[in-house]
Chains A and B, each alone.
Chain A
Amino acid sequence: MPQGDYIELHRKRHGYRHDHFERKRKKEAREVHKRSQIAQKALGIKGKMFAKKRYAEKALMKKTLAMHEESSTRRKVDDDVHDGAIPAYLLDRDETTRAKVLSNTIKQKRKEKAGKWEVPLPKVRPVAEDEMFRVIRSGKRKTKQWKRMITKATFVGPSFTRKPPKYERFIRPSGLRFTKAHVTHPELKCTFNLEIIGVKKNPNGPMYTSLGVMTKGTIIEVNVSELGLVTPAGKVVWGKYAQVTNNPENDGCINAVLLV
Chain B
Amino acid sequence: MEVEAAAAGVAMEEERELSNRVMCQLKDSEGTPLGAPIFLPESAGPKELQQLVNKLLNNEEKMPYAFYVSDHELVVQLGSYLQKNKVSVEKVITIVYQPQAVFRIRPVTRCSSTIAGHMEAVLSVAFSPDGRQLASGSGDTTVRLWDLSTQTPLFTCKGHKNWVLSIAWSPDGKHLVSGSKAGELICWDPQTGKPSGNPLVGHKKWITGISWEPVHLSAPCRRFVSASKDGDARIWDVTLRKCVICLTGHTLAITCVKWGGDGIIYTGSQDCTIKMWETSQGKLIRELKGHGHWVNSLALSTEYVLRTGAFDHTGKQYSSPEEMKKVALERYNKMKGSAPERLVSGSDDFTMFLWEPAVSKHPKTRMTGHQQLVNHVYFSPDGLWIASASFDKSVKLWNGTTGNFVAAFRGHVGPVYQISWSADSRLLLSGSKDSTLKVWDIRTQKLKQDLPGHADEVFAVDWSPDGEKVASGGKDKVLKLWMG
- Residue numbers of A with Cβ under 8 A of B are 79, 81, 83-89, 91-92
Contact = CB atoms under 8 A, between A and B. Distances in A.
A87 B460 contact: yes
Nearest to A80: B162
A85 B163 contact: yes
B306 to A, nearest CB: 20
Given A79-B161, A79-B182, A85 B206 contact: no
A40 B460 CA distance: 71
B459 interface: yes
Interface of B: 120-121, 123-124, 138-141, 161-163, 165-166, 181-182, 206-209, 229, 253, 255, 270, 296-297, 375-376, 417, 459-460
B206 A91 contact: yes
A81 B182 CA distance: 10
B124 A87 contact: yes
Given A79-B161, A89-B296, 16 more contacts: A81-B139, A81-B141, A81-B163, A84-B139, A85-B163, A86-B121, A87-B165, A87-B459, A87-B460, A88-B165, A88-B207, A89-B255, A89-B297, A91-B165, A91-B229, A92-B253
A148 B56 CA distance: 108
A79 to B, nearest CB: 6
Contacts of A88: 123, 165-166, 206-209, 255
Contacts of B459: 86-87
Closest 3 A-B residue pairs measured CB to CB? A85-B139, A88-B165, A85-B121
A89 B375 contact: yes
Contacts of A83: 120, 139
Contacts of A84: 121, 139
Contacts of A85: 120-121, 123, 138-140, 163
A79 B162 contact: yes
B256 to A, nearest CB: 9
A79 B140 CA distance: 14
B207 A81 contact: no
Contact of A89 (B120, B161, B207, B417): B417
A86 B474 CA distance: 9
Nearest to B473: A87
A88 B162 CA distance: 13
B270 A92 contact: yes
Contacts of B138: 85
Contacts of A92: 229, 253, 270
Nearest to B179: A88
B472 to A, nearest CB: 13
A81 to B, nearest CB: 6
A94 to B, nearest CB: 14
Contacts of B207: 88
Of the listed residues B165, B209, B229, B417, the one surrounded by the most CB atoms of chain A closer than 10 A to its CB is B165
